[in-house]
Chain A
């Protein structure tokens, strides 16, 4: 938990932190940090985590990289949760044809190979500078967020639908109906507040998945553009010369691992605290 707070602070104050170190994220130090063969130099007093193949400070790029990871983790989860909760409520409470159609759609999306489609969409979208969907969506963080959310909302949908199915038979729903509340009032005023704990638990477990998804895409060169530092992209760039410059893959990898681990621990902890069924 403390680590996540730290990450958020680092992401917010990336600029001041970088100026404290004295290196910009895209600033090249080719004279100082590249040797005679053009290979980067490793960690030293000034460059704590060494330099990359272009002579940029790895630590400063890692600091800026927190922004991409946290942005993707947060927004992809928010969008997926938003869609999943609303549709799950509709399907679970209304039932019938609405439920059938939505559940089929969810089933289809869950059976699509996510990485395959992500690659297809990102490549097609990245092929032209103006992006796709008439220029509204450009390759980068937004596109990664949208793809991730599109493929993960059915998970939240299924959970919410299941909980709503059992909640709608409860007395408080009958009570609300008997005083004349309409279906939407019941859904969003009566049932929704009862969904908070399962939604929080599963949402917190979706964050690390989204962060990893961005890292995978960026590793394949398909996530965010090179000018924006991202941990997956840094590891990918470093993988070309990792045998002579181990710091290029070790440090960004460790921070990625720790971030995902922290969110997984948070999710596990929330589940143990909020879900009476779980037992350690």
Chain B
């Protein structure tokens, strides 16, 4: 187990490095505007631009620039650890802003994820147990609807109905929990629901399919043959193997969701990581783009590691190599 975790941690570092190299390359190899222009003042002369380039470190060779970036990341810079530099666009330090925005994105993701598991797993289990009944058909029909509906459209539609028409909710934007827990909740409930419904629908379909696969296994027949009650068979012998793969998926999706909240944050006008990345990409803001992609890649990779370890703990059939 220990060796497995260490190997996976090394893999995580590798993936994060790879993502950072790719982001760097995309930024430099593909043609885009020169960030130095923005720093060179209103009437940029060739000297001013050259000076701005030197200040930003853009005059050095590509490998050198990347090396400096890595060095700052590992050893920290004047804004603390990890060193992420300052934004080319706003000239503010990246790190404090990153932490602020991670809170927003975290609020959206954690609430949404809790809701999606609470809806998705029971729906899948009920559908599988009541297979081929009207319940099953109805629930799976609803699931197919939410799997097919684009998140941004559901988000806009829900805003139109619950905010503009019914006036039940206070509107878009983010209110910090410390400021007002009630407002925090009122602003987040729609993003949570919109995110949760999509994933709940996907998970309900997976849980149902897994349950149905498990039911036809020999050991289920054995369990019934030795006289266990149906309730006990379902709870102890069917649920566990059916849910094990879902745990693995859940962790991976949770990480991927950090990237997936871009759309949600845009529609609900929340200043989270996804929204920040979109702004940064549009402004050729390399330090911010690097910071967000690295955080997301690390989150995805680490959560996958947690999932694999959990899966091995739950399901003895999975052996860690």
Could you list which residues of chain A lie within 8 angstroms of chain B, going by C-beta atoms? Answer: 108, 111-117, 119-121, 123-125, 127-128, 130, 132, 208, 212, 215-216, 219-220, 232, 235-236, 239, 242-243, 246, 249-250, 253, 256-257, 260-261, 264-265, 268, 278-280
Contacts and interface: CB of A to CB of B under 8 A. Distances in A.
A215 B278 CA distance: 16
A119 B15 contact: no
A115 B31 contact: no
Contacts of A112: 19, 22, 297
B180 interface: no
Contacts of A257: 145, 148-150, 153
A115 B259 contact: yes
11 contacts: A108-B18, A111-B15, A115-B259, A124-B32, A219-B266, A235-B156, A239-B156, A250-B157, A261-B148, A264-B148, A268-B144
B31 A132 contact: yes
Given A111-B301, A264-B147, A116 B153 contact: no
A99 B267 CA distance: 43
A249 B267 CA distance: 13
Interface string B262-306: 110011000000000110011010000100110011001100100
B163 to A, nearest CB: 8
A127 B32 contact: yes
A107 to B, nearest CB: 9
B238 to A, nearest CB: 16
Contact of A127 (B31, B152, B156): B31
A279 B211 CA distance: 12
Contacts of A249: 153, 156-157, 160
A239 B289 contact: no
A266 to B, nearest CB: 12
A253 B153 contact: yes
A120 B153 contact: no
B164 interface: yes
Nearest to B209: A278
Interface string B2-40: 000000000000010011001100110011110000000
Nearest to A115: B259
Nearest to B301: A111
B27 A235 contact: no
B263 A216 contact: yes
A119 B149 CA distance: 21
Interface of A, secondary structure class, is helix
B156 A123 contact: no
Contacts of B32: 123-124, 127-128
Given A111-B300, A113-B256, A242-B156, A120 B148 contact: no
Contacts of B241: none
Nearest to A259: B148
A12 B22 CA distance: 39
Contact of B150 (A120, A256, A264): A256
Nearest to B131: A280
Given A113-B300, A120-B26, A220-B278, 16 more contacts: A108-B15, A111-B15, A111-B300, A112-B19, A113-B256, A113-B297, A119-B262, A119-B277, A130-B31, A216-B263, A219-B152, A239-B267, A242-B160, A253-B150, A253-B157, A264-B148
A269 to B, nearest CB: 11
Contact of B31 (A114, A124, A246): A124
A264 B147 CA distance: 9
Contacts of B289: 120
A233 B68 CA distance: 39
Contacts of B256: 113
Which of A108, A115, A260 has the most chain B CB within a 10 Å cutoff?
A115
Nearest to B259: A113
Contact of A120 (B15, B31, B157, B281): B281
B296 A123 contact: no
A198 to B, nearest CB: 16
Contacts of A212: 150
Contacts of A265: 144
Given A113-B297, A253-B153, A279-B212, A124 B30 contact: yes
B82 interface: no
Contact of B160 (A111, A128, A246, A268): A246
B99 to A, nearest CB: 19
Contacts of A127: 30-33, 284
A215 B160 CA distance: 20
B245 interface: no
Contacts of A256: 150, 153
Contact of A123 (B18, B159, B258, B282): B282
Contacts of B147: 264
A70 to B, nearest CB: 16
B152 A216 contact: yes
Contact of B296 (A113, A260, A268): A113
B226 interface: no
Contacts of A232: 150, 152
B281 A119 contact: yes
Contacts of B292: 116
Nearest to B293: A116
A147 B18 CA distance: 18
Contacts of A253: 150, 153, 156-157
B111 interface: no
A128 B132 CA distance: 55
